[in-house]
A and B are shown apart, each in its own frame.
Chain A
Amino acid sequence: MTTRLKKKLDELGVNINSRKANENFCLIGTPLPPLEKSKDTGEFVPLWKQEVRDEKGRRRLHGAFTGGFSAGYFNTVGSKEGWTPSTFVSSRNDRAKKAAARPEDFMDEEDLQDLKEGRNLVDTTEQMDLLGGTQAELLGKADDDSEKDPITRTLEASLVPAPKDSVGARILKKMGWRLGQGIGPRISLKQRKLQDAMAYDATTGTKFLGRTLDIPDDDEEANKHKYAPRDTPVLVVKRKDNYHGLGYVPGMSLNESLGDNAASGSDSGPKLAGGFGLGALNDADEDDLDVYDSNPTSSRNRVAYDIAAGEDDDTVVIGRRGDKQKAPQKAAATASQYFRDGSKVLAGFVLSDEPVVEEKWFPVPEVPPGWKPDPRRVWAADKENRQQPAPPPKGLSHEEWKRSKMSADQRGVILGETPLPAAPRSVFDYMSQKDKERIKSITSGLKSGASTASGESAGPSISVTKLEPHVAQAALNGFQPFTNNPAQQARYTAYLRWQASPDGSSPPLERLRDQSIDDYNRELADYAKSASLFKPISGAMAGRFTSAAVLDLGPKINEGLHIPTQEEIAAKEAERKKEEEDKISPKEHAAKLGMYGHLTRETKPWQPAKLLCKRFGVKDPNPEPEVPEASASSSAAAAAAPSFTHPEQSFSAGTADVTAPVQSTSGPRDLNNIGLGEDDTQGQDTLTYERPSMDIFKAIFASDDEDSGDEDGKEKVDDDDDDDDPSMSIVPPPNATKETGTGFISATTILNDEPVDPETFKPKFIPREGQAKKSKDDEKSKAKKDKKDKKKKDKKSVLVSFAMDEDGGDDSLEIKQSKDRPTKKRKEQKQSEDGDDHGMWTAPAATSVAPPVEPAPPPAKADVVENATTNEAGPKGRKRAIDFM
């Protein structure tokens, strides 16, 4: 670095001594490429610069996976044409062409390679072993495969490459082990013989009868050698997948079950050489027999790597085969066997070769003269034998025995054993002498209570079991265990009293005359025990239990089969009869005596349910409550709960100021007037809702509906005018306003579910007639009308409907127009009212309406009709009802 540069840098404020400033910027020569080009140099690379490449150098994890924009077509999964799902191709014609998709179709190279590697893993180490198991096993199996004929087997063997032993077997073989030998160091002949002798069949647990070393003991040559240890058969436990008992083989004959395996070859006929058929009529000939076929039932035990060695033993094998060879020949000969007397042997039976062994009879031993049977001697001898082991107990108690014997420690000392270093020390060892004494005194005090136990056993002297006085006192108050036996109970209490008074104020419990001392002692001990057991629980627990009054031990049980005596049966019979007598009512009694008539009859007033009357279409025989009340229309009726005399009133109750207080005073105390105290009218002024004038509502809710309502009001006025009542013309306006008022209110009741009194709530249907025209009007003129109107129209509609009912009540469905409409105008009005197709609030009776309405002068006609509506029980109403039916 030049001085000039230094100076300049210094001027710029750069520390010249720092490493950076000293760096050489000149580059001479071409730099070598970095040693590990592709490897991670440990440099920090920002996330977006990190790349993932596969082994071929192609970039992986690009595009959508890393947030880049290279995936698909502009970050879509599709192509330029957009993503196209696989289009529907009809498979109707080229069904066969349709190739089934394999999973490989959807795999990329890496996946495929993974798959390949995975496949390689399966058998890179193991060689093909098609039939499963090692060679030895296979050979063993071959023996088992009795159903395979030899040709198939040889074919199989030739086609299938020779199976290889497992690695373990190969290692063992390299170490000098051979098939059929046991594992371990070689042993002498003697040892081997011993092993053979000790061998057990692992599966059956019986003595192993199979292959042993067939070398005589005294063979000198043999003794010079050492032998491989005996092969231990592997215990192959067959999976038990049936429900048979252990060891049971299904389908085994009785003979087999007795262990006679040899005769129970699965094949009843002779074994024939494979490949050549046998005619159905031909008997097996000697030529057909397969001489070289070894018996499949030879040895079934599977021994690891054994059988080949076993078969090696020439003598054994040949000998066996020879045996087997004979058997079929014999079987073949059965066809032509004869008894000695010339008669033919029955088919299926075989003449026995062996002569019948005659039973041997031994002479009875001679009885010495003068011998007399003395069974007692024999018994005594027998007893002696049996009691030989008995003496040791000898009535020695455990403690005595303990005392008589030395302790383990003593024995140890005598034997010169070193005492155990850390003998477990008891807690008492760590206690001070004082504490020990205290404990001793306490324990001795405890023992004194039950001290009698040892004394009792000592002899038959009276030993009174003592009880702590407080315990006895408590037990006196507590549960009485002997309530079933009063005598015993008395003695028990006497005993307790005696014990409870330590000063001896109470007399001691005396021994019964015929009671032995032992019994007496026992009794006292029992009492003491039960007293301490049944003394009432003290303290907090005491209050939680109640003692049962009687300890019920169930009915007295007679032992054995109880045969009731004659008297008992009679008594029971009498008892039962008496019970029956009691049960029989006077009526039944009368019936028994045959006095049918008024004595056996019963009269009850019956009143059909209303529903019943309706269902049978019968007039209610006693419609008492309704008719009088309806006509009465008194305030008393209002009080009656189910009356519907004042429904209108009730509806208007919340609204009409006049009626409300009346109702509240007359009505019973209910939820509505709770909190008002005695004064029902209290707070009425605040509760009573002053209805603002209609104008205000109109101003706020001015709409078609209101208008229509207004119109209705006008109509009403017109209606009144029609009637030409001069007074009418003055009065109607208030009437009309009032009506609109009530109408409005009823609407609110409807909307707010406000003050309909459920007690008097009896709504009625409005039959709607003459709707044909109305329906026409309906569509045309009538917009929806609010419910508010309905109320107002109520009365009128009632009138109208009733009037119409009279006309066309029967066939309401027909489009009929009543003939006698009062005036045309009225008709129109009616229609308009009907036409709006809205419910009229036919509060059942107009009686309640009457008070407010009647003072106002309604048209005479209307009045009449109104009356008709008011008393529906009236003749008109009745008629109508019948008409409807």
Chain B
Amino acid sequence: MAPHPSTSHASSTHTTLNLSGMVMAKLKPAKIFKNAVDAPPAPATGSQSQKTSNPPSRSITGITFDDRGDQLLTAGEDETFKLYSCKSGKVLKTFYSKKYGVDLPRFTHKNTAIVHASTKEDDTVRYHSLHDNKYLAYFRGHTDKVISLEVSPIDDGFMSGSMDKTVRLWDLRTPVCRGLLKLPAPPVVAYDSTGMVFAVAVNHYQRILLYDQANYDKAPFLTIELNDPTLLTISYPPRPIYVTSMSFSNDSKFLLVGCSGDTHYVVDSFDGIILARLEGHTALERVSMTSPPLIQPAKGISGEEVSWTPDSKYVISGSLDGRIFIWDIQSLNGVLGDERRKPFKMLRLKANAVLDGHPGPSRCVKFNPRFAMMCTAGTELAFWLPDPAVDAEEVAKDLLKKRAS
């Protein structure tokens, strides 16, 4: 199930590279786009004044890889979205969505079409064709900001969660929503990798509801309760967990719950047991390091900062201080043992590797689904590649082997 990501630097010969702890720790920023957001070509006067008023707050808010891992799309606060080639590390196209703003970009299964949420005008989800820079469809319905958007991994369905406390199920082929879920709190949604199941997190209730895609009008077949006993040791009442993102691992065993607080959680997707809390990074619920700590948990700029590697072995996350944290999740395989229902004590995982990253907060961290390439973004965009020095050793080993044979 887990695809072997291949190195992109050997473009002609696609060698596969196993992501090991060493490789992950030796990721190096290979390409940095300093002006990824400011969009120098011909900014409108309005946006210019906006820029001058608060230049540091402008950053990339969302990134998405296409299915083949060849292209990357970033959405920034400058109301542009840019298409990058992952192979050449260059900007392919820049699109402007000055009218609607752009947030939560997601590639559909066609690599020239995306869906994205809006930041201005209304809260419509828009279906955009990168090929001819046209909007193909608008998906109207949400009455407040869309905070979570996911495309089904197997078909044209997608799902959006909004601040209006509804989840809507859509299909790219029809402009009206297929299903609607009303919740008492803003939801966060995620598809699992098989596309058969999706999860909806309800923030204030610290619950994750798992629905069957085929029977989505039925009650959730599994309800996961996010109870972190360690929070109770810190304060009473315990600080609520504020879920800002969710994603299933590619092997579908785990559910990664990204929070705006100082922890992310890895949950066993079958039994809903919290396996581990990932610690070390600085929470993104504050917008900057200088702002005072919040009393109530808030979304802040969190949401896109944590993700899996395609082999489901590592979780990578950004941090408010700009560093990139990498946790090794392999140890969680089989921790539950055979009798899965027995009480399990949550592990506390510290980051296995910390990479120095962005000057500002690293808001978006994603791993390429097919190549050994990581992409991080804050006020600037960075492409990370494994250090070839690691490969040198392997090359030497190979040579030795060859000689021996």
Contact = CB atoms under 8 A, between A and B. Distances in A.
B228 interface: no
Contacts of B222: 610-611
A644 B225 CA distance: 15
Contacts of B165: 750, 787, 839
B217 A805 contact: yes
Interface string A827-841: 000000000011111
A750 B180 CA distance: 15
Interface string A592-609: 000000000000100001
A837 B140 contact: yes
B270 interface: yes
Contacts of B184: 749-750, 753, 756, 761
Interface in A753-774: 753, 756, 758, 761-768, 771-772, 774
B217 to A, nearest CB: 5
A96 to B, nearest CB: 31
Contacts of A877: 218
Nearest to A877: B218
Interface string A859-880: 0000000000000100001001
B209 A762 contact: yes
Interface stretch (B3-11, B24-32, B103-111, B191-199): B191-199
B176 interface: yes
A501 interface: no
B338 A767 contact: no
A837 B139 CA distance: 11
A774 B176 contact: yes
A322 interface: no
Interface in B153-190: 164-167, 169, 171, 173-185
A644 B219 contact: yes
Given A749-B184, A839-B166, A812 B178 contact: yes
Contact of B179 (A617, A753, A767, A837): A767
A813 B171 contact: yes
Given A767-B179, A768-B180, A671 B237 contact: yes
B217 A884 contact: yes
A780 interface: no
A881 B214 contact: yes
B296 to A, nearest CB: 12
A880 B212 CA distance: 13
A840 B180 contact: yes
B207 A765 contact: no
B64 interface: no
A612 interface: yes
Contact of B181 (A614, A764, A775): A764
A844 interface: yes
B344 to A, nearest CB: 14
A762 B194 contact: no
Nearest to A671: B237
A766 B141 CA distance: 14
Nearest to B268: A609
Contacts of A620: 221
A784 interface: yes
A842 interface: yes
B312 interface: no
B180 A617 contact: no
Interface centre among B192, B212, B340 (most CB of A within 10 A): B212
A872 B218 CA distance: 8
Contacts of A762: 209, 219-220, 223
A224 to B, nearest CB: 80
Nearest to A834: B176
Nearest to A880: B217
Contact of B180 (A642, A749, A805, A839): A839
Contact of A614 (B141, B171, B212): B212
Contacts of A767: 178-179, 216-217
A872 B204 CA distance: 27
Contact of A765 (B181, B194, B210): B181
Contacts of A671: 237
Nearest to A764: B219
B211 interface: yes
Contact of A772 (B173, B176, B271): B176
Interface centre among A609, A763, A837 (most CB of B within 10 A): A763
A646 interface: no
A877 B219 CA distance: 11
B215 A881 contact: yes
B143 interface: yes
Contacts of A771: 174, 176-177
B185 A753 contact: yes
Contacts of A839: 165-166, 180-182
Contacts of B205: 756, 758, 761
Contacts of A842: 181-182, 217
A844 B221 CA distance: 12
Contacts of B185: 753
Interface centre among B215, B216, B223 (most CB of A within 10 A): B215
Interface centre among A611, A644, A872 (most CB of B within 10 A): A611
Contacts of A642: 223
Contacts of B197: 611, 614-615
B74 interface: no
A784 B167 contact: no
Given A749-B184, A750-B182, A771-B174, A765 B217 contact: yes
A790 interface: yes
Given A609-B270, A614-B197, A615-B197, A766 B217 contact: yes
A758 B202 CA distance: 10
Interface in B252-298: 252, 269-271
Nearest to A623: B221
A682 B137 CA distance: 56
A749 B165 CA distance: 11
Nearest to A765: B179
A884 B215 contact: yes
A840 B269 contact: no
A885 interface: yes
A842 B340 CA distance: 33
A878 B401 CA distance: 61
Nearest to A758: B205
Nearest to B255: A611
A642 B194 CA distance: 26
A840 B317 CA distance: 36
A621 to B, nearest CB: 13
A753 B206 CA distance: 13
A766 B218 contact: no
A763 B215 contact: no
Given A805-B217, A813-B171, A763 B209 contact: yes
Interface centre among A617, A749, A761, A880 (most CB of B within 10 A): A761
B207 A766 contact: no
A671 B237 CA distance: 10
Contacts of A840: 180, 182
Contacts of B215: 880-881, 884-885
A617 B178 contact: no
Given A614-B196, A763-B181, A805-B217, A784 B252 contact: no
Contacts of B209: 762-763
Interface in A616-658: 617, 620, 642, 644
Given A611-B270, A753-B204, A763-B209, A841 B182 contact: yes
Given A614-B210, A787-B182, 4 more contacts: A767-B216, A775-B176, A839-B180, A881-B214
Task: Report the 4 A-B pairs with minimum CB-CB distance, sorted nearest first.
Answer: A839-B182, A609-B270, A771-B176, A765-B179
7 contacts: A615-B196, A750-B165, A761-B205, A766-B217, A768-B180, A881-B218, A885-B215
